[in-house]
């Protein structure tokens, strides 16, 4: 075993080796151009069947935003400003703190895409993963929001939910007691991979993008192949303004942020 040459700093939980920081899919978010408009938040919700939770549950912090835009106040009037808008979503860590704590392997690492998966039909709702996520990006279904009778119309005693017409058939509809988070639009990744496979080629950078990057009016979000040195995302990831959140925790986040300036 000695010839395996294991770097102990990179050994993740359960003895699994953490992957290289440069994995497959990655994202760069440019905070200099993010205007905080929430188009990504809306697009994500529309793509991924994310339910809304209404005012009271939202007040208790139970919203299911997979991506949220953080802004903080800095200074005192009149020298006051907001910190640059910071879209925060699952960082798809290479060494993810959410993974080792899941007792039922619902939070697992995908070898194929090198992403953090959430397997809904394994999840039993312990919420250990959310507690252990330093980015606070995991959201929990406290209720069956989508089938709350308030959203239904009553047709002769039969409840009809017109908003369900919009459900994306490529994405699981989650029930109560399930943890969920950003998937990097894995259904789009799979579509592109299957298409490429059927055409006998590899997936190309720019062939598809995530819902948030697609909607972003200022092009603040760039998604693509990190291990393709020609790709825009891999070049931006090495930008001089680039930094990664909580990098010191050795989570190997897959998302690079670009500072203002």
Whose Cβ is closer to other proteins: residue 7's or residue 77's?
77
- Piece of the chain touching other proteins by CB under 8 A; list 90-98, 119-127, 227-235, 244-252: 119-127
Minimum distance from CB of 153 to other proteins (Å)?
5
Minimum distance from CB of 253 to other proteins (Å)?
19
Whose Cβ is closer to other proteins: residue 70's or residue 247's?
70
User: Among 109, 138, 181, 254, which residue sits at the site for other proteins (rule: CB under 8 A)?
Assistant: 109
Supply the DSSP string of 5-73, one letter for each residue.
---GGGB-GGGPBPPPSS-SEEEEEETTT-----HHHHHHHHHTTPPP-HHHHHHTT----SEEEE--E
Minimum distance from CB of 163 to other proteins (Å)?
5
Rounded to whole angstroms, what are the CA distances from 171 to 10, 174, 223?
33, 9, 20
Tell me: does residue 21 bind other proteins (CB under 8 A).
Answer: no
Whose Cβ is closer to other proteins: residue 75's or residue 200's?
75
Minimum distance from CB of 237 to other proteins (Å)?
15
Whose Cβ is closer to other proteins: residue 11's or residue 247's?
11
Instruction: State the residue for tokens 């299911």.
Output: 64
Edge-first strand listing for the sheet containing 221-225: 221-225, 25-30, 255-258, 242-243
Whose Cβ is closer to other proteins: residue 211's or residue 248's?
211
| Contact between 53 and 145 (Cβ < 8 Å) | yes
> Which x/- pattern over 23-62 shows residues binding other proteins (rule: CB under 8 A)?
-------x-xx-xxxxx-xxx-xxx----xxxxx-xxxx-
Contacts to other proteins from residues 163-222, by CB under 8 A: 163-172, 183, 186-187, 190-191, 194, 211, 214-220
The runs of H, that is alpha helices, within the chain are: 39-47, 54-59, 128-132, 186-198, 211-215, 232-237
User: Among 2, 3, 9, 78, which residue sits at the site for other proteins (rule: CB under 8 A)?
Assistant: 78
Minimum distance from CB of 121 to other proteins (Å)?
6
User: Among 10, 22, 68, 100, which residue sits at the site for other proteins (rule: CB under 8 A)?
Assistant: 68
C-alpha 95/C-alpha 109 separation (Å) is 9
C-alpha 132/C-alpha 102 separation (Å) is 10
| Contact between 145 and 30 (Cβ < 8 Å) | no
Contacts to other proteins from residues 83-102, by CB under 8 A: 85
Shortest CA distance to 115 belongs to which of 132, 90, 88? 90
Minimum distance from CB of 142 to other proteins (Å)?
14
Contacts to other proteins from residues 135-154, by CB under 8 A: 150-154
């Amino acid at each position: 075993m000695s010839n395996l040459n294991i770097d102990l700093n990179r050994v993740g939980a359960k003895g699994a080796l953490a992957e290289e920081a440069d994995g497959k899919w990655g994202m760069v978010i440019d905070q200099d151009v993010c205007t905080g408009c929430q188009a990504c938040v809306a697009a994500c919700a529309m793509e991924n069947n994310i339910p809304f939770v209404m005012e009271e549950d939202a007040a208790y912090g139970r919203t299911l935003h997979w991506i949220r835009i953080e802004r903080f106040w800095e200074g005192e009037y009149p020298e006051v400003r907001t910190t640059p808008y910071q879209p925060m979503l699952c960082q798809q860590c290479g060494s993810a703190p959410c993974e080792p704590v899941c007792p039922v392997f619902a939070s697992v690492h995908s070898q194929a895409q090198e992403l953090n998966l959430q397997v809904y039909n394994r999840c039993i709702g312990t919420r250990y993963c959310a507690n252990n996520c330093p980015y606070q990006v995991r959201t929990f279904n406290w209720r069956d929001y989508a089938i709350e009778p308030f959203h239904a119309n009553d047709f002769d005693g039969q409840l009809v939910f017109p908003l369900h017409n919009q459900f994306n058939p490529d994405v699981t509809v989650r029930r109560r007691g399930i943890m969920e988070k950003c998937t990097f639009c894995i259904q789009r990744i799979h579509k592109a991979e299957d298409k490429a496979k059927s055409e006998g080629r590899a997936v190309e950078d720019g062939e598809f993008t995530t819902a948030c990057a697609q909607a972003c009016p200022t092009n603040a979000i760039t998604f693509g192949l990190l291990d393709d040195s020609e790709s825009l995302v891999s070049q931006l990831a090495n930008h001089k303004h680039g930094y990664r959140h909580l990098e010191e925790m050795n989570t190997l986040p897959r998302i690079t942020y670009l500072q203002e300036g």
